[in-house]
Amino acid sequence: MSREIWRKRRDIDQARREKMQDVMREYDNDVYRPAIEALVATCKAAGHSAGSTHDNGLGWVFVHCSACHGLISKHGPDGQTVTP
């Protein structure tokens, strides 16, 4: 019984999540993403401020800007550095 209830709850939550994604898709593509990209580009031109780092557990370390949260650089397990 509890497994059946868990599955029903999962299905309800999944349907809600899919509906929210469908509703927001156009706004995200037309307004949100371009605005964030412009903000990150402006911050990059002014000079990012190194902030938080994230290690994905596979040897990659990501450095994010403390102001715009854009990706400053990522460092691979073999010593390679990728700058976007």
Both tokens assigned to 33: 């993403």
Per-domain residue ranges of the chain: 1-47, 49-84
* pLDDT tens per residue across span 16-50: 999 999 999 999 999 999 999 999 999 999 999 99
pLDDT at res. 81: 83
Whole-angstrom Cα distance, residue 16 to residue 80? 41
Provide mean pLDDT across the span 2-15: 96
Question: Residue 84: is its pLDDT beyond 90?
Answer: no
pLDDT at res. 41: 95
DSSP 14-79: HHHHHHHHHHHHHHIIIIIHHHHHHHHHHHHHH---EEEEEE-SSS-EEEEETTT--EEEEE-TTS
